[in-house]
Chain A
Amino acid sequence: MSGPDARCGQRLRAVLRLAGPALAAASERFWDHPRLAEMFPSFLIRAYWVARASVGLMEAALRRARTLAPADAVSTRLAQYYERHLAEERDHPGWLLADLETLGVDRSRTLSTVPTPAIAVLVGPHHVWVESGHPVAALGHLAVLEGHPPSARELERVRERTGLSHEAFRFLRAHAEIDPHHAADLFGLLDELPLDRVQSSLVGLSALHTVGAVAGVFEELIGDDSIALVPAAVAEVQ
Chain B
Amino acid sequence: MVKSPVERLEAAGLCKSDDLSDKDRQALNSLSDQEVQQFISLHEKLGKPDSDAARPNLPI
A175 touches B59 (CB 8 A): yes
Chain B residue at smallest Cβ distance from A178: B59
Stretch from A76-84, A108-116, A151-159, A224-232 contacting the other chain: A151-159
Contact partner, B42, options A24, A31, A46, A212, Cβ 8 Å: A212
Q: Which residues from chain B contact A50 at a C-beta distance below 8 Å?
A: 58, 60
Stretch from A12-20, A63-71, A99-107, A160-168 contacting the other chain: A12-20
- A47-B58 contact in complex given A22-B47, A28-B51, A212-B45, C-beta closer than 8 Å: yes
| A238: Cβ under 8 A from any B Cβ | no
- A172-B56 contact in complex given A18-B14, A19-B42, A25-B46, C-beta closer than 8 Å: yes
| A185: Cβ under 8 A from any B Cβ | no
Write the nearest CB–CB distance from B9 to chain A, whole angstroms: 7
Chain A residue at smallest Cβ distance from B50: A28
Contact partner, A154, options B39, B46, B50, B53, Cβ 8 Å: B53
| B54: Cβ under 8 A from any A Cβ | yes
Write the nearest CB–CB distance from B1 to chain A, whole angstroms: 23
A18 touches B59 (CB 8 A): no
Cα of A149 to Cα of B57 in the assembled complex, Å: 7
Contact partner, A151, options B15, B23, B54, B60, Cβ 8 Å: B54
| A98: Cβ under 8 A from any B Cβ | no
Cα of A145 to Cα of B56 in the assembled complex, Å: 10
Q: Which residues from chain A contact B38 at a C-beta distance below 8 Å?
A: 205, 208-209, 212
| A75: Cβ under 8 A from any B Cβ | no
Cα of A179 to Cα of B54 in the assembled complex, Å: 15
Write the nearest CB–CB distance from B5 to chain A, whole angstroms: 10
B49 touches A154 (CB 8 A): no
Q: Which residues from chain A contact B42 at a C-beta distance below 8 Å?
A: 19, 22, 208, 211-212
Chain A, residues 201-221, CB within 8 Å of chain B (1/0): the string is 100110011011011010000
Cα of A211 to Cα of B38 in the assembled complex, Å: 11
A148 touches B32 (CB 8 A): no
A21 touches B57 (CB 8 A): no
**Sample of 6 more A-B contacts, CB < 8 Å, known A150-B55, A200-B30, A204-B31:** A10-B23, A24-B48, A26-B46, A30-B55, A212-B38, A212-B46
User: What are 29 A-B contacts defined by CB distance under 8 Å?
Assistant: A7-B26, A7-B30, A10-B27, A11-B31, A13-B27, A15-B27, A17-B24, A19-B42, A22-B43, A22-B45, A22-B46, A24-B55, A25-B49, A50-B60, A54-B60, A55-B60, A148-B54, A149-B59, A151-B54, A154-B56, A155-B56, A158-B56, A179-B59, A197-B32, A201-B34, A211-B42, A212-B41, A212-B42, A215-B46
